[in-house]
Amino acid sequence: MNRFEQAFSTLKENKNKAFVPYIMAGDGGLDCLVDRLILLEKYGATAIEVGVPFSDPVADGPTIQRAGIRALENGTTLQGIIAEIGKARQEVSVPILLMTYMNPIYSYGINEFVKDIRQAGVDGCIIPDLPIEEEAIITPQLEEAEIELIRLVTLTTPMERIKTISSKGKGFLYTVTIKGITGARNEYDSELNQFLMAVKEVSPIPVLAGFGISSQDQIIDLTKYCDGVIVGSKIVDLFNSQNLLELEKLMSVFKSKSEIL
């Protein structure tokens, strides 16, 4: 059983929901990445999404854009990030996902990239500008290395296409809950609950909701209709303002009161 299957079967046994935090690698300096991964596991992360900074992040809103700029100004490179994940692997046992735009991978060399992330112990990749039409550029290598490609579906994805996309994956289905880019939102589309239920209906793999999620209330509400959440901009903000108390509190959303005490 790989780390993904492990993580989700444990959740299922405990009738719990997944909490996947996103952090921007290199924000605050690359040397704090290992510590942050350890901390997020301690706070109860089901899996951790590690963002790779890119100069032109078209799917991201201001919070993650700024985090990416800070990381790049720190001299963060994909090579450095993979090396740090390799170090963290000895101490972190939850699945680690790399979220990166396509160009840093292309520039690294696709074969080299897959070889190196496998060695570092990365369990999956999320590539926001790689729709299924283009994924053959990397899927043969990922499959051979047994690294999951986590695919996205959105409110604009037709149901037939959601079926196709969800049937390709093994890890989980990343369901984008807004028509827009990443970043905290106060309001969701009124049809979101129905959409999540419909996705859940057709997807053979766990369905996680992401984009725009920033509060415990939202998380509790959304997870009535899906298997868990991915929280990005809010976590990036909390690390940037070094508000670890708030972070721990947010991540304790699925824990029973006795566990917190």
Residues taking part in catalysis: 49, 60
Separation CA 178–CA 187 (nearest Å): 9
**Contact by Cβ (8 Å): 44, 248:** no
Amino acid symbol at 261: L
Q: Please pick, from the candidates 17, 46, 49, 65, the single residue that binds other proteins as defined by CB under 8 A.
A: 65
Region of 17-25, 51-59, 115-123, 188-196 interacting with other proteins (CB under 8 A): 51-59
C-beta of 7 vs 152, nearer to other proteins: 152
What is the smallest separation between the CB atom of 68 and other proteins, expressed in angstroms?
A: 10
Stretch 4-43: interaction string toward other proteins, x if CB under 8 A: ----------------------------------------
Separation CA 114–CA 82 (nearest Å): 11
Separation CA 241–CA 33 (nearest Å): 16
Lookup result for tokens 């790779």: 52
Site for other proteins in 116-155 (CB under 8 A): 128-131, 133-134, 151-155
Site for other proteins in 152-211 (CB under 8 A): 152-158, 161, 165, 176, 179-181
* Per-residue DSSP letter, 172: -
Q: Which of 45, 202, 225, 71 is nearest to 123 (CA)?
A: 45
**Contact by Cβ (8 Å): 149, 127:** yes
What is the smallest separation between the CB atom of 159 and other proteins, expressed in angstroms?
A: 11
Q: 3-state SS of the chain: helix, strand, coil percent to 5?
A: 50, 15, 40
Q: Which two tokens stand for residue 173?
A: 């289905």
C-beta of 28 vs 104, nearer to other proteins: 104
Separation CA 206–CA 173 (nearest Å): 6
What is the smallest separation between the CB atom of 92 and other proteins, expressed in angstroms?
A: 25
What is the smallest separation between the CB atom of 253 and other proteins, expressed in angstroms?
A: 26
Separation CA 36–CA 50 (nearest Å): 10
Q: Please pick, from the candidates 23, 40, 78, 247, the single residue that binds other proteins as defined by CB under 8 A.
A: 78
| Phi, psi dihedral angles at 168 (to 5 degrees) | -85, -25
C-beta of 158 vs 245, nearer to other proteins: 158
Site for other proteins in 88-117 (CB under 8 A): 101-108
Separation CA 15–CA 98 (nearest Å): 26
- The contact set with other proteins (CB under 8 A) reads 54-59, 61, 65, 72, 77-79, 101-108, 128-131, 133-134, 151-158, 161, 165, 176, 179-181
